[in-house]
Amino acid sequence: MAAMKLPELALRLCVIPLAVASLWEMATNSQADDTYGEVRFSNISGFTYLVGINAVTAAYAVASILLSPFKSFAQYDWLILVLDQASAYLLVTSASAAAEVLQLARRGDRDVSWGEVCSYFGSFCGKATVSLALHAAALACFVALSLVSAFRVFSRCGHPHSGAAADCSSEPKHAQEQRK
């Protein structure tokens, strides 16, 4: 399991600047036009949600890095797996909400008479696209973290049908079998 510590730490360290940069790019996003007025990220709920989820996942990544050196924290591998999964799912939902809004801004929807607005607010749409790309990179890190966490939990506990699921000691299952 020690071999997984470095990649896990690297992924958690990567999430922080990606989520913070995505948050910053979107939170500072506004553009004014003399003819059409002003648009801010806070006027669009999908973008506000993206900013909030970036803040939550960055804070979780920092907390998990700070708590990881403690031996008692290793007992909570299942909790880490669940929190990594929850973070990945939250990033998916916020990315999809922001992508939908951005798609409507770029193309409009003629069926409901919504025109595209990116030709008027190009800078706003550009910053939103950059923020969404950074957000997608943070999502990719959390997907990888979920896989690493699952590997750690299930290599130690075994899968439910193996009969070893009840034996979740701190040693990986293969190390226990080698001792026998």
What's the mean pLDDT in 94-116?
Answer: 86
pTM (predicted TM-score): 0.81
Q: For residue 34, with 0-12 CB atoms within 10 Å meaning exposed, 13-18 middle and 19 or more buried, which class applies? A: exposed
The residues with which 39 forms a beta bridge, in sequence order, are 31
- What's the pLDDT score for residue 116? 82
Q: Residue 7 above 70 pLDDT?
A: yes
- Bigger pLDDT: 166 or 101? 101
Q: Are 155 and 140 in contact (CB under 8 A)?
A: no
Contact present, 15 and 61 (Cβ < 8 Å): yes
Residue 95: its pLDDT value, please?
97
| Stretch 55-77: mean pLDDT | 82
Which secondary-structure segment (H or E) carries 86? helix 77-107
Q: Is the pLDDT of residue 160 over 80?
A: no
Read off the pLDDT of residues 12-64 as tens digits, 9 standing for 90 and up.
999 999 999 999 999 999 898 888 888 899 999 999 999 999 999 999 999 99
pLDDT in tens, 124-155: 999 999 999 999 999 999 999 999 988 888 87
For helices 122-157 and 2-27, the axis angle rounded to 10 degrees is: 160
Query: Closest Cα to residue 28, out of 42, 38, 14?
Result: 42
**Looking at the DSSP assignment, which residues form a beta bridge with residue 92?**
none
Cα dist from 60 to 22, 37, 103, whole Å: 16, 37, 29
Separation of alpha carbons 135 and 132, rounded Å? 5
The H or E element containing residue 14 is: helix 2-27
- On the question of pLDDT at 78 being above 50, the answer is yes
Closest CA to 95 of 134, 123, 44: 134
Residue 63 dihedral angles phi and psi, to the nearest 5°: -60, -40
